[in-house]
Amino acid sequence: MPCLSEFDRFRKTIRSIQKISMPRVPKIGILAIQGDFAAHAAMLESLGAETLEVRTLADLAKCDGLVLPGGESTTQLQFLQEEGLFEAIRKFAEDEHPVFGTCAGAILLATHVKNPPQDSLGLLDITVLRNAYGRQLASDVFFGPTKLKSGPMEMVFIRGPIIDSVGHGIEVLAEYAGKPALVQENNVLAATFHPELTEDPTVHQHFLALIEECAAKSSATT
Ligand code: GLN
């Protein structure tokens, strides 16, 4: 009978053969309670990813990454708390699985929510003000500078939150009107706008690259 270290070596070899011969397509969960989850699925699938609608703990367990779509953050929060998904998503992100929130999803990810105050997952060190862009900015298309590509990024705002302040560990990847609009801290990404409602795949491509990066890190440590 092989000793444990031989067995571990054997297991690692099998894993690397599997990786070379059949690269696994990442499975990306999209929280599908309400809001624009279908638009995220369409964008991610057009980029070659496999998506899965997430409504239960069992759904989440099958995912390599998770999208929290736009919609109504209060309704979504209540569902997450009732279904046990609130704690499960926190654990999912703490285990270094990538999570990407857009608009209401960004509100759910924030450490502090104002206007009015609301409970949140606290996975991203930002303070957000709900529905805080002025009336003329409430719902429209704008362009802002980004680090992810040359030229401005198209941003669709729909009663989006303003990111009022960010913690030290936050990288600002795009801005609109002097405020961060796309931010990242390690494996957690959030946009106050809706990249899934444009033709521009830049933000979703960035999220897929993050998923690959995190998967590579976790397979190097197992
Ligand atoms: N106004 C919504 C909220 O505060 C967010 C809107 C959106 O996701 N487009 O929850």
Position 73 in a domain: yes
User: How close is the Cα of 33 to the center of ligand 1, in Å?
Assistant: 14
Residue type, 178: G
Position 12 in a domain: no
Position 36 in a domain: yes
* pLDDT number for residue 21: 45
Domain enclosing residue 146, as ranges: 25-221
Position 157 in a domain: yes
* pLDDT number for residue 1: 46
* pLDDT number for residue 140: 87
* pLDDT number for residue 17: 47
Ligand 1 neighbours, Cβ below 6 Å, are 70-73, 103-104, 107, 130-131, 158-160
Active-site residue, from 194, 204, 206, 214 = 194
Residue pLDDT, tens place only, 113-165: 999 999 999 999 999 999 887 655 567 899 999 999 999 999 999 999 999 99
The residue assigned the tokens 């699925």 is 41
Position 93 in a domain: yes
Position 179 in a domain: yes
- Based on the structure, what is the number of domains in the chain? 1
Percentage of the chain with pLDDT > 70?
87
CATH of the domain at 203: 3.40.50.880
* pLDDT number for residue 75: 97
Please state whether 12 falls in left (phi above 0), alpha (psi between -120 and 50) or beta. alpha
Residue pLDDT, tens place only, 22-43: 467 889 999 999 988 999 999 9
Residue pLDDT, tens place only, 166-193: 999 999 999 999 999 999 999 999 999 9
CB 154 within 8 A of CB 198: yes
